[in-house]
A and B are shown apart, each in its own frame.
Chain A
Amino acid sequence: MDKILESIPGKFKWFDAVYVKGRSTPVSFRNNRFHSLSESENSGFGVRINRDSRTGFSYTNDSQRVEGAVQRAYSMAPYGDPENFTLPSDTQLKFEPYDPAIESFSVKDEIEAAEEFISSMQKEFPGISMDMGISASNGVMRLVNSEGVDLSYRDSYYSVSVSCVLVMDDGVRIDTWEGKSGLCPVDYSEFREKLSDKIRRAQIQEKISTGSYPVILPPQAFGRLAGIIASGLNGVSVWKGVSPFVGKTGEKLFSDSFTLADDPLFEGSPYRIPFDAEGVNVSRKELVSKGVLRGVITDLKYAERLGTEPTGNASRGYSSLPSPSFTAVTVEPGNMSFKDMIAGVERGIVAEQFIGLGQSNTLTGDFSANLDLAYLVENGEVKGRVKDCMMSGNIIDLLGGEVHFSSERERKGSAVMPYAIFPAVSITA
């Protein structure tokens, strides 16, 4: 703090700086065998300075050159846009997203567990080729500002991902994966059954013709489509007028059953944060409540521009300016079980994985993707795989029509999602 103050060459209105430091140990398995063990130690410093109401920014990851970064940020300020917001002074550190159990991470144990996992999968699928990544990391984030905030917190993160490839004699490829994360090492034994089930079914090929079908999207797949909605709920795209939700706050745009929130405090998630990257205190916010648009996420800059309260969604690495982003997109569950969802379908599709989703004009909610992994549902039962077809539609329209959500939810990365079923989605085969 003193060092930053000393280095600022002239008058300023405010400044803030982040210092991040992290250490991680990724273990990697490729093609069914242990491949590499890595150790990574990195740190960095980023500073922004507001001078005559304009902000300059710079960064370095060389601890001996912090002064240079401060001076660069100062000299860049005249290029910035006018910004008149003030930085918070009441930042509270209520918890640390850290679990000391991360220290129990043992490379040897993880390697043994992974080897066991792979060989159990190989027993059932002799030709399978598996990659695994297991990683533990911990770090420190420190935020300092000219309003007297100087807080730091530790964070910890554990993740495991398993991906399986099975190539059939005719070149047909079954490629599927599961992943999980936590504040400390987690048990992932349930992947065995989940992956086996997906691969077993995928070996049976079913046919589907062009038409409109009921489609069930499991949490991971639905999360990707909900992400298109989430990006329209960002203060930046609303300010720029490229969000489909501009000027629609208070309107009912979606089905009653659709409630979407950002929840930076979601219990058990390693993505929890005590305050955002500008020091704004955070809480759960509903952006869509029972189909009605309530608001968008902002940082200090976009809250000022839009004339709203900051929502505590500033995110930044050391080498970038803060910008609004979701900490954890959550969609509220419904009251139907996944089992009942399937049971009610006469002929439809469960779409697990896509290729090329998000390469459409997502600003308007459009999507069109090849079904990388999808299953036919017939008379209330999940059958074999359907492939070589594309699913297209508009996610805003779909969520505005009939949609049901499951009572179960899963956290995939930071997103917490239920299963979703849409009664009619367009399939091109």
Chain B
Amino acid sequence: MHDRFYEAAEKGRKLLESADCEFAEIRFSAGTGTIISLSGENVDSLSSGETVAGSVRVLKNGSWGFTTFNDVSSLERYFKSALTAASAVSPEEKSGVALSGPVTAEFRTESREPINNISIDEKFELIKGYNKILGSSPKIQTTRAIYRDVESRYHYMNSEGSSLTYDKMHCGISLTSVAKDGNIIQPFHESVSGYGGYEIARGRDELAEKVAKIAVDMLSAEPLEGGTYDVILDPRLSGVFIHEAFGHLSEADFIHENPRMKEQMALGREFGPAGFNVIDDGSMKGLSGYIPFDDEGVYPRKTYLIKDGILTGRLHSRETAHKMGEEVTGNGRAIGVSRQPIVRMTNTYIDNGTCSREDLFTSLDDGLYAVDVIGGQTNLEMFTFTAGYGYRIKNGRPGKMFRDVILSGNVFNTLKSIRMIGNDMEMFGGLGGCGKGGQSPLPVSYGGPHILVGNVLIGGRK
């Protein structure tokens, strides 16, 4: 397969050199992957397969043509049809791109234990071991343990003369226990993944034990009553909080052609308290949101979105950067070569503050400690995010455990309600990811320290 891949890349280079358009890029990927999915006593699926894909994107006369295919030997034909597609319309209002100069480099995931060297047997036994732990209590009804790895070669080329390759290795596990007691069915789930080898999946017995324990503990937790609460978010939840409550809002494709949104998101606007910093950084190696270059051939960088409470930056693709006259940030990303890049986050986090975890708890007389995460969503004005579970806090001490903790707020106001920022930042990512514009899941990571947020709306029955 690789021979044909190199051949196609050679052809691609020539096509790009002679292309009659403002900008063109070719992306190829070829990879193999293994999935082992166990559930209770059963093997849900065990498969390994391979995929090859290519795409061409062309900007001509201000409009985009895009073709995707898996027959890479016919690249010329697809390149031509992308040019034709871009020429189909000559729009009044035109798209443009910010150019960033040609770059040539080769990247490779560093791994201690390359996936290739590990037999299917070994992977199977590893995940079987976790699955056994996940089902270790009689109260556990069923389990799900998934192992997944992907190894692929990605080649990016564009008409600026860039040529970037990335030999990528991604590995992870996803662990779920579902506890049951009468009519109560309570799942709990954790996942870890990242760029690297088998070492990411190995040695996770403790995680599996935690998943099983919490699922069982949650059987006796009660649903939380709806209302407004002062809430301490753990690092994982503070990461999801910043991803939903602010991260999406800083994606420039929601802003660049909407005058009202531009006003709302004017740099310099106060968004949070002093000492509050939010960063997106695609260059953090190993994390799920790490990219050596984005899907438009731009290197990632550390972008301060909020600095000391003030809006200072946003995330760009080539198109949005051009439109807004700002610098590219390396956030043009796609879930695969057969999708067009759009503005996406990478590794997004709240930076450390000055308070210790204890300071946060001592200052909370009556509130909630919300822990772990199920998911989150935003419509760019309001957002929700769901904690795995929570504890009622009285006089700084955690008490009763609650489940069904679904928090909600307004993107423009909630950040101002952040009262204290801890100093114990951690980053998280799993086999899942972020969804936008029909592209899901995109690997991202998120994180932060413990934070204390006042007056958060939590849904629930009385």
User: Could you tell me which A residues sit within 8 Å of B by CB distance?
Assistant: 30-44, 46, 56-63, 65, 68-69, 72, 76, 79-81, 107-108, 111, 127, 129, 165, 167-169, 171-173, 175, 210, 240-242, 244, 319-321, 355-356, 359-361, 363-364, 366, 368-370, 372, 387-393, 426, 428
Contact check, B462 vs A426: say whether CB atoms are below 8 A apart: yes
Q: How far is the CA of A242 from the CA of B257 in the complex (A)?
A: 47
Q: Which residues of B contact A361 (CB under 8 A)?
A: 185-187, 403-404
Q: How far is the CA of A388 from the CA of B376 in the complex (A)?
A: 16
Contact check, B95 vs A42: say whether CB atoms are below 8 A apart: no
Contact check, A42 vs B70: say whether CB atoms are below 8 A apart: yes
Contact check, A173 vs B379: say whether CB atoms are below 8 A apart: yes
- 8 A Cβ contacts from B25-78 to A: 36, 39-40, 42-43, 45-53, 63-71, 78
Contact check, B384 vs A31: say whether CB atoms are below 8 A apart: no
- 8 A Cβ contacts from B151-202 to A: 178, 180, 183-187
CB within 8 A of B380: which of A37, A173, A244, A363? A173
CB within 8 A of A61: which of B70, B93, B458? B70
Determine, out of B82-90, B299-307, B362-370, the stretch whose residues face the partner at the interface: B82-90
Contact check, B89 vs A356: say whether CB atoms are below 8 A apart: no
Known A-B contacts A41-B71, A368-B459; the reply to A390 vs B408 at CB < 8 A is yes
B377 CB-CB contact with A under 8 Å: yes
CB within 8 A of A37: which of B63, B264, B381, B462? B63
Q: Which residues of B contact A389 (CB under 8 A)?
A: 457
Contact check, A41 vs B386: say whether CB atoms are below 8 A apart: no
Q: How far is the CA of A363 from the CA of B144 in the complex (A)?
A: 15
- 8 A Cβ contacts from B407-462 to A: 408, 410, 412, 457-462
Contact check, A37 vs B66: say whether CB atoms are below 8 A apart: yes
Contact check, A240 vs B142: say whether CB atoms are below 8 A apart: yes
**Interface hub of B49, B70, B458 (most chain A Cβ within 10 A):** B49
Q: How many whole Å from A278's CB to the nearest CB in chain B?
A: 15
B273 CB-CB contact with A under 8 Å: no
Q: How far is the CA of A397 from the CA of B197 in the complex (A)?
A: 47
Residue of B nearest to A32 (CB): B257
Contact check, A388 vs B457: say whether CB atoms are below 8 A apart: yes
Q: How far is the CA of A368 from the CA of B124 in the complex (A)?
A: 38
CB within 8 A of A171: which of B39, B256, B381, B386? B381
Contact check, B185 vs A363: say whether CB atoms are below 8 A apart: yes
Residue of A nearest to B186 (CB): A361
Contact check, B261 vs A167: say whether CB atoms are below 8 A apart: yes
Contact check, A355 vs B46: say whether CB atoms are below 8 A apart: no
> What would be 23 A-B contacts, judged by CB atoms less than 8 Å apart?
A31-B258, A35-B64, A38-B65, A40-B67, A41-B69, A57-B47, A61-B51, A62-B51, A68-B50, A79-B120, A80-B43, A171-B412, A240-B178, A242-B185, A319-B51, A359-B374, A359-B384, A360-B386, A361-B187, A390-B384, A428-B457, A428-B458, A428-B460
**Interface hub of A111, A165, A361 (most chain B Cβ within 10 A):** A361
CB within 8 A of A167: which of B92, B226, B260? B260
Q: Which residues of B contact A165 (CB under 8 A)?
A: 258
User: Could you tell me which B residues sit within 8 Å of A by CB distance?
Assistant: 1, 36, 39-40, 42-43, 45-53, 63-71, 78, 81-82, 85-86, 88-89, 91-93, 95, 120, 124, 141-142, 178, 180, 183-187, 223, 226-227, 253, 256-261, 264, 338, 340, 374-386, 403-404, 406, 408, 410, 412, 457-462
Q: How many whole Å from A53's CB to the nearest CB in chain B?
A: 13
- A-B pair count, CB < 8 Å, reads 245
Known A-B contacts A61-B70, A65-B50, A129-B258; the reply to A359 vs B376 at CB < 8 A is yes
**Interface hub of B66, B86, B261, B406 (most chain A Cβ within 10 A):** B406
Q: How far is the CA of A273 from the CA of B46 in the complex (A)?
A: 27
Q: Which residues of A contact B70 (CB under 8 A)?
A: 41-44, 61-62
Contact check, B71 vs A63: say whether CB atoms are below 8 A apart: yes
Q: Which residues of A contact B53 (CB under 8 A)?
A: 42, 61
Contact check, A42 vs B68: say whether CB atoms are below 8 A apart: yes
Q: Which residues of A contact B460 (CB under 8 A)?
A: 368, 390, 392, 426, 428
Q: How many whole Å from B462's CB to the nearest CB in chain A?
A: 7
Residue of A nearest to B380 (CB): A173
Q: Which residues of A contact B66 (CB under 8 A)?
A: 36-39
Contact check, A356 vs B375: say whether CB atoms are below 8 A apart: yes
Q: How far is the CA of A388 from the CA of B411 in the complex (A)?
A: 11
Q: How many whole Å from A294's CB to the nearest CB in chain B?
A: 21
Q: Which residues of A contact B65 (CB under 8 A)?
A: 36-39
CB within 8 A of B88: which of A31, A37, A244? A37
Q: How many whole Å from B171's CB to the nearest CB in chain A?
A: 19
Residue of B nearest to A108 (CB): B88
Q: How far is the CA of A361 from the CA of B388 in the complex (A)?
A: 10
Please name the 9 residue pairs, one residue from A and one from B, whose CB atoms are nearest each other, closest first.
A356-B384, A390-B459, A36-B64, A428-B226, A31-B257, A59-B49, A173-B381, A368-B459, A167-B260
Q: How far is the CA of A81 from the CA of B43 in the complex (A)?
A: 6
Contact check, A244 vs B185: say whether CB atoms are below 8 A apart: yes
Residue of A nearest to B37 (CB): A321
Known: A37-B63, A39-B65, A391-B459. 4 other contacts (CB 8 A): A76-B48, A79-B43, A167-B264, A173-B380
Q: Which residues of B contact A390 (CB under 8 A)?
A: 226, 384, 406, 408, 457-460
Q: Which residues of B contact A111 (CB under 8 A)?
A: 88-89
Residue of A nearest to B59 (CB): A36
Q: How far is the CA of A57 from the CA of B43 in the complex (A)?
A: 12
Contact check, A171 vs B51: say whether CB atoms are below 8 A apart: no
Q: How many whole Å from A306's CB to the nearest CB in chain B?
A: 13
Q: How far is the CA of A111 from the CA of B43 in the complex (A)?
A: 48
Q: How far is the CA of A352 from the CA of B206 in the complex (A)?
A: 43
**Interface hub of B53, B257, B377 (most chain A Cβ within 10 A):** B377
Q: How far is the CA of A43 from the CA of B458 in the complex (A)?
A: 46
Q: How far is the CA of A428 from the CA of B51 in the complex (A)?
A: 48
Residue of B nearest to A107 (CB): B88
Q: How far is the CA of A370 from the CA of B382 in the complex (A)?
A: 8
Q: How many whole Å from A60's CB to the nearest CB in chain B?
A: 5
Contact check, B47 vs A321: say whether CB atoms are below 8 A apart: yes
Known A-B contacts A69-B49, A167-B260, A426-B461; the reply to A355 vs B406 at CB < 8 A is no
Contact check, A363 vs B178: say whether CB atoms are below 8 A apart: yes
Residue of A nearest to B385 (CB): A356
Q: How far is the CA of A65 from the CA of B5 in the complex (A)?
A: 14
Q: How many whole Å from A124's CB to the nearest CB in chain B?
A: 17
Contact check, B81 vs A360: say whether CB atoms are below 8 A apart: no
Q: Which residues of B contact A356 (CB under 8 A)?
A: 375-377, 383-386, 406, 408
Contact check, A38 vs B142: say whether CB atoms are below 8 A apart: no
Contact check, B404 vs A360: say whether CB atoms are below 8 A apart: yes
Known A-B contacts A59-B47, A242-B178; the reply to A171 vs B377 at CB < 8 A is no
Q: How far is the CA of A168 from the CA of B260 in the complex (A)?
A: 7
Known A-B contacts A39-B81, A361-B186, A363-B178; the reply to A368 vs B406 at CB < 8 A is yes
